[in-house]
Amino acid sequence: MFSKILIANRGEIACRIIRTAKKMGIATVAVYSAADRNALHVNLADEAIYIGPSPSTESYLVIDNIIQAALSTGAQAIHPGYGFLSENADFSRQCDANKLVFIGPPVAAILAMGSKSAAKNIMAKANVPLVPGYHGDNQNPAILKQSADEMGYPVLLKAAAGGGGKGMRAVYHGDEFDQALAAAKREATNSFNDDIMLVERYLQQPRHVEIQVFCDQHNNAVHLFERDCSLQRRHQKVIEEAPAPGMTPELRQRMGEAAIRAASAINYQGAGTVEFLLDSSGEFFFMEMNTRLQVEHPVTEMISGQDLVEWQLRVANGEPLPCTQAQLNIRGHAFEARIYAEDPEHDFLPSTGQLTQLRAPRETSHVRIDSGVIEGDEVSVFYDPMIAKLVVWDSDRDRALERLTDALSEYRIAGVTTNIPFLYNLASSGPFRRGDVDTGFIDEHQAEIFHRRKEDLDYAAPLAAQAILAAQNQSAQKVAEQSSEPNSPWHLMNHWRNSNSSPQQLRINIGEQQVKVTAETRQLPANIKVVRDKAGFNLFTPQGVFHCSKSQPDLGLDQNQDGSGNLNAPMNGTVVTLLVEVGAAVIKGETLLVMEAMKMEHSITAPNNGRVREFFYQPGELVDGGAELLAFEMEGS
C-alpha cells in the first residue's frame, strides 16, 4: 500500500480523503492556494505545499505545480477528488509519465466518456439502453430533422460536447426544428467549440438515478446500488438519497447490470458513476458516465457500510475489490443535503464572507458532516461556496428524512446567508416526503417551497404569534422578578383583565408578507423550534421554516431592550456557546454569547466596539433571568 499520497483538491473532499488515508496509516500531502493557506485540509494533512495564487486556474488546475509537489514530497500517488483535474486526461497522462499512480480510471476510459456521442456509440454496442434518437456523425440538417420527424415530437437537441444541461434545446413542433437546430449549433460552438448535435426523444420530467460502479485491475466489477439525484436546481444537485424512492429489486438489478456492462465496455478501473434517466414507465436510459468519485458518494457509503475512498486506494494499489456483489447489501436509507453559502431569496447568489458562527449538529452514527471549513473561516469568491455536506442515515426513508430536517434545524451559521431554509422546506414538503421526486420538482413546487401560498401563511401566522407572546411573557417575567412587587398583575404583558389572558392583536412579517394575527398565549407544540437571528427568528415546523419578524414596536424578542447593551440573561435559561475569546476585539452588534430558553435561542450582542473582559458563565451552565452574563469593556474606556 502507498506510504504517502498527495490530494490534488481542497475543501470538504480533501478533508474527507485525508480522513480515510489517516485511518489506513497513509501519510498525506495537501496542496493549497494563497486563499487556502490556513484551510482545514492544510491543517489536517501531514505536509502541505503551496501551489499558487488563489484563482483555481493559477493553482488547483496547474498540472505542473501539482506533479512537482508530489515528486518533491515523495508521494507515490495522487487523489484528484472531484472537479478540478479529476477527469482531465492530460493530468492522468502526466501522472503516468512521472511514475505517480493516478487514483482514478485509465486515461483511455476518461477519453472514451469525454464525448456524449462517442459514449453513446460505445454503450449501444454494450447493450446499454439509450434514449431513442440519433447520435450519428452525419450532421446534415435534413438527416437530423428526418430523425426527429420519425421519432415524433417533442425532441431534445443535445450538444455532443455538452454536459450538465448546457447546450440542450427542446423542440415541440416540426416547423420549429430548423431554427432551433441553428440556434443550438451556435450555442454549442460558442460554449464548446464543437457543434455536433444529438437528437433524442424528449422525456418529460424524468428522474436522475445513478449507479455507483467499482472495477479493479483483475476484471472484477460490482455496483453499489443506486442514488436518486433528481432534486436539482439548474443542473446542480441539491439533495441526494439512496436507495431511490420506489425502486424495485428487479429494476435495481437491471440498472446495476447495465451499469456494469457500461463500465466493462471501456475497461474501467476504480470508482465510476453511470447516470440514467428513469421515466415514469420504469424505462431507463443511459445519460452519461462520470469517471470520478462523486460529491454524493457518502449516501452510498451510509447504506452499504463501505468506505469508497478506501476502495479507491486499494484498487489503485492493484488489490482486488474488497467485496463481491453477493457480499454487498443495502441497509436503511440515507440523504445528503449540500449546505451552501448562497441566498435562495436572491437567485441563489453566492454569499461570501466570514463564518462568524458555524455550529453543526452533533455527529452520531446517524448524522455525518463532511466539511472543509470551521468557524471563523472565509467563504471566498474563488471557489464553490459549499460549507458542508449534511449526511443522515436511518432504518427507513421516513426516519432518515426526519433526521435530515432535525439536523438542518440544528445548524447555526452566521456571517453568511445559507440555503438551509430552502433545504428544510424541500425536505419537509409534502411531495418530497411522499417520494414524488423528478427532475422538475423544484420548478413545479416553487410556491410551496418558497411559501407563496395562502395556506402556508395561515398555518405559520398563529405559531409565529405564539413564539412572540412566549418571548414577550418571558421578558415580562424577568422584569417582574426584578421589581419590588413581583406578583403585581400589571407585570403580565398579556393585558391581564380580571380574567385569563385576553387575545392580542399582533402584526408579524412572515417572509416578504405581513400578516395580522389575534392570538392568546399558548404553549408552542413540541415539534416547533424557534431560532432567533439578528432580524427576527426562524420558525422550524413540520411544514417548513418561516422567517418571521415583528412589524410592531418591540414585542419582547429583542435583546438589549433598553438599548444600553443589556448584557443580562433575558430569562431563565442555559448558556449554549461563547462566540468570542476574552480580550478579543469585537464590533457593535457582534454575537458574544448564545443562550437557550423556552426552546428559543437568544444572542447577547456587543453593545459597542470593545472587548469581553470576563464571561461569568460557561456553556451548559443554568442562568437566572436578569443575571449578568459577562463584563464588557467599551473601546476607548
Dist. CA 85–CA 60, nearest whole Å:
8
Q: What are the residues facing 79 on neighbouring strands?
A: 7
Cell of 158: 443535445
State the minimum distance, in angstroms, from the CB of residue 121 to ligand MV4.
17
Helix (H) or strand (E) holding 250: helix 249-265
The nearer residue to ligand MV4, 141 or 165, going by C-beta atoms, is 165
Residues 544-603 that bind ligand MV4 (CB under 6 A): none
- Determine contact, residues 420/413, Cβ cutoff 8 Å: yes
State the minimum distance, in angstroms, from the CB of residue 132 to ligand MV4.
9
Residue of 44, 95, 128, 131 interacting with ligand MV4 (CB under 6 A): 131
Kindly state whether residue 393 participates in binding ligand MV4, applying the rule CB under 6 A: no
The one catalytic residue among 207, 292, 338, 412: 292
Residues 299-338 that bind ligand MV4 (CB under 6 A): none
Residues 418-477 that bind ligand MV4 (CB under 6 A): 439
State the minimum distance, in angstroms, from the CB of residue 254 to ligand MV4.
19
Helix (H) or strand (E) holding 7: strand 4-7
State the minimum distance, in angstroms, from the CB of residue 196 to ligand MV4.
16
The nearer residue to ligand MV4, 7 or 203, going by C-beta atoms, is 203
Dist. CA 357–CA 360, nearest whole Å:
10
The answer, yes or no, to whether the previous bond of 154 is cis (omega within 30 of 0) is yes
Judged by CB under 6 A, which stretch of 202-210, 211-219, 453-461, 465-473 contacts ligand MV4?
A: 202-210
User: Binding pattern to ligand MV4, positions 162-181, x when CB under 6 A?
Assistant: --xx----------------
Kindly state whether residue 152 participates in binding ligand MV4, applying the rule CB under 6 A: no
State the minimum distance, in angstroms, from the CB of residue 544 to ligand MV4.
23
Kindly state whether residue 203 participates in binding ligand MV4, applying the rule CB under 6 A: yes
**What's at 593, amino acid-wise?**
L
Phi, psi (rounded to 5 degrees) for 93 = -60, -45
Reference 377, options 59, 31, 38, 34; nearest CA is 38
- The Cα angle at residue 571 between residues 567 and 576, in degrees rounded to 5: 75
- In the numeric block, the cell 443589556 is attached to 566
Kindly state whether residue 206 participates in binding ligand MV4, applying the rule CB under 6 A: yes
Residue of 78, 144, 156, 321 interacting with ligand MV4 (CB under 6 A): 156
Residue of 36, 87, 200, 226 interacting with ligand MV4 (CB under 6 A): 200
Q: How far is CA 514 from the centre of its chain?
A: 30
Cell of 198: 444529438
Kindly state whether residue 113 participates in binding ligand MV4, applying the rule CB under 6 A: no
Cell of 606: 456587543
The nearer residue to ligand MV4, 161 or 203, going by C-beta atoms, is 203
Kindly state whether residue 516 participates in binding ligand MV4, applying the rule CB under 6 A: no
Reference 105, options 289, 264, 259, 291; nearest CA is 291
- Determine contact, residues 571/516, Cβ cutoff 8 Å: no
User: Binding pattern to ligand MV4, positions 220-249, x when CB under 6 A?
Assistant: ------------x--x--------------
- Determine contact, residues 194/160, Cβ cutoff 8 Å: yes
Kindly state whether residue 109 participates in binding ligand MV4, applying the rule CB under 6 A: no
Query: Is 532 a known active-site residue?
Result: no
In this structure, is the dihedral angle defined by the CA atoms of residues 452, 453, 456 and 458, taken in order, positive or negative?
Answer: positive
Residues 257-286 that bind ligand MV4 (CB under 6 A): 277
Residues that bind ligand MV4 (CB under 6 A): 131, 156, 164-165, 200-203, 206, 208, 232, 235, 277, 287-288, 439
Catalytic positions: 292
